[in-house]
């Protein structure tokens, strides 16, 4: 197991995590027309949490996350399915992209974005479940010794 508690890792994790999360949101939002999107953004975000995990251990990470990774997956999947539905009200086939412009900030909101957010959450949730399970299994073995 990686020795957590070195000074450089601690400081770097605290500094890098917000930056990485910000970058992941940037990737998520630019995804529709340019390279980016929910999947890669989710990987970047889970990279941020993984860094924190290496520095401070699983318990601190769970506390910081506040929600369980399972909830992220469930929520993401729900968003994914929900994004298929708005086309129904327009009388179009499911999954047809719907675009709305939010007037004050000139932001184009759309069903592909909802879907991307869903993917973002699912990717984060699945990576976190795997990484947390590996770390916790590892530390259990250590404590048995």
Partner 1 sequence: MNPEVALPILIPLFSGALSLLFWRLRSMQRLVAVAGTAALLITSLWLLASVSRDGIQVMHMGNWPAPFGISLVADLLGAIMVVLTGIIGFAVALFSLATVGRGHEAFGYFPLMHLLLAGVAGAFLTGDIFNLYVWFEVMLVASFALLILGSEKAQMEGAIKYVALNLLSSVIFLSAVGLLYGLVGTLNMADIAQRLGQLEEGGLVDVLAMMFMVAFGIKAAAFPLFFWLPASYHTPPVAVSALFAGLLTKVGVYALYRVFTLIFNQSPDYTHEILLWGAGLTMLTGVLGAAAQFEFRRILSFHIVSQIGYMILGLALFTPLALVGGVFYIMHHIIVKTNLFLVSGFVHRLKGSYQLKKLGGLYKSHPWLAVLFLIPAFSLAGLPPLSGFFAKFVVIRAGLEAEAYGVTFVALLVGLLTLYSMVKIWAEAFWKAAPEDAEPAPEAPSQREQWLLYLPIVGLALCTLAIGLYGAPIYALAEASAAQLMDPGRYIEAVLGTEVTP
Binding positions for partner 1, rule: CB under 8 A: 70-71, 73-75, 77-78, 80-82, 84-85, 87-88, 91-97
**CB of 1 or CB of 133, closer to partner 1:** 133
- For residues 29 and 41, give the distance between their C-alpha atoms in angstroms, rounded to a whole number: 9
Please report how close the Cβ of residue 112 comes to partner 1 at its closest, in angstroms.
10
Please report how close the Cβ of residue 96 comes to partner 1 at its closest, in angstroms.
4
**CB of 57 or CB of 74, closer to partner 1:** 74
**CB of 73 or CB of 127, closer to partner 1:** 73
Cβ count within 10 A of residue 101: 10
- For residues 4 and 50, give the distance between their C-alpha atoms in angstroms, rounded to a whole number: 12
Please report how close the Cβ of residue 51 comes to partner 1 at its closest, in angstroms.
27
Q: How far, CA to CA in Å, does 125 sit from each of 76, 86, 120, 130?
A: 9, 25, 9, 9
- For residues 15 and 41, give the distance between their C-alpha atoms in angstroms, rounded to a whole number: 19
**CB of 12 or CB of 133, closer to partner 1:** 133
Please report how close the Cβ of residue 87 comes to partner 1 at its closest, in angstroms.
8
Closest CA to 121 of 79, 62, 92: 79
């Amino acid at each position: 197991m990686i020795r957590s508690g070195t000074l450089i890792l601690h400081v770097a994790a605290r500094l890098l995590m917000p930056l990485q999360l910000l970058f992941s949101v940037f990737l998520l939002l630019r995804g529709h027309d340019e390279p980016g999107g929910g999947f890669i953004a989710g990987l970047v975000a889970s990279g941020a949490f993984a860094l924190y995990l290496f520095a401070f251990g699983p318990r601190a990470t769970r506390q910081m996350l506040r929600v369980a990774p399972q909830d992220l997956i469930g929520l993401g999947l729900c968003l994914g399915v929900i994004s298929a539905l708005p086309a129904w009200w327009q009388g179009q086939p499911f999954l047809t992209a719907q675009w709305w412009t939010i007037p004050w900030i000139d932001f184009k909101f759309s069903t592909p974005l909802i879907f991307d957010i869903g993917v973002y959450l699912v990717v984060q949730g699945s990576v976190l479940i795997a990484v947390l399970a590996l770390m916790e299994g590892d530390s259990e073995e250590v404590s048995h010794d």
